[in-house]
Amino acid sequence: MTLMATPRVCVLRAPGTNCDVETAHAFSSCGANTDRVHLFRVLESPGLLDDYQVLCIPGGFSYGDDIGAGVIFSSQLRGQLSETIGRFLSEDKLALGICNGFQVLLKAGILPGGAEAWATDTKNQSPDATLTWNTNGKYTARWVRLKIVSTNNVFLQGLDELDLPIAHAEGRLVPRDPEVLSGWFANDQVGLCYRHRPHDGQVSGNSDTTPAASDPLLPEPHNPNGSTANIAGLGDPSGRVLGLMPHPERFLHATQHPRWTRLGLSGDGDGLAIFRNAVQYFA
């Protein structure tokens, strides 16, 4: 029998976060020791993060998105917790941001550059990208099909395609310039992309949003927010950090899929594998 180390996971929540319980449950279901920790506790005692191997910022509406999605939360990571976050990123640890958490990681500067960029750009003066309003100008909640692009990211190992739900208003990833986008692909940082349904036979990677034959529960277009190059998730160069707009914690069981009876699904949902990969990394 192979014994596996049990990582400790910090699900870091802030005022307005609302997906922390489900996210903690997902990690615990895969064998991790998981704590839901309020940001204010870490601000009081930054050394708390040193005791964890995985940092996850879950979805929700931190600080009500009052001045922009993830802006206040990210400023606290970049400000009061800059040294603590830098130390965490420099070690052999993992970080995951889901939906609002992705917005936080990106706007703080943890993504896309990871530890090296964090150490050299202490004020995050020249962000490579942002997550902004969906092209439809409204909050969008639906299921999407995703193609795994990265072969390097820890969270995505062994995966090919996923069905996951989204629920966001500011999920459109926009890089600063075409060179930044090219760099992400060259460095294997593009984690996953929106794609057409399987019967459409067309993988994302272009701006085509021609509707495919669709189920009423899974409407097209395949890119729900207009994200550049259909990118739904982005990692750092090390492959130990991932941010994604879809919610893997909302598809842990087959019966959570809107078409589970038609497709004859049973067992685990697609999202569970992302959390399992994080836990197994520390085996």
Q: Which residues are catalytic?
A: 99, 247, 249
Closest C-alpha to 52, from 85, 99, 81: 85
Strands 241-244 and 94-98: parallel
For residue 132, report the phi and psi dihedrals to the nearest 5 degrees: -130, -170
CB contact set of 7 (below 8 Å; sequence gap of 6+) = 32, 33, 52, 53, 54, 278, 279, 281, 282
Query: For the chain, how far is it from start to end, CA to CA, in angstroms?
Result: 12
The residue count of the chain comes to 283
Sign of the Cα torsion 194, 197, 202, 207 reads: negative
With CA atoms as reference, report the closest residue to 118 among 106, 129, 130. 106
Contact 243, 101 (CB under 8 A): yes
d(CA 8, CA 85): 16
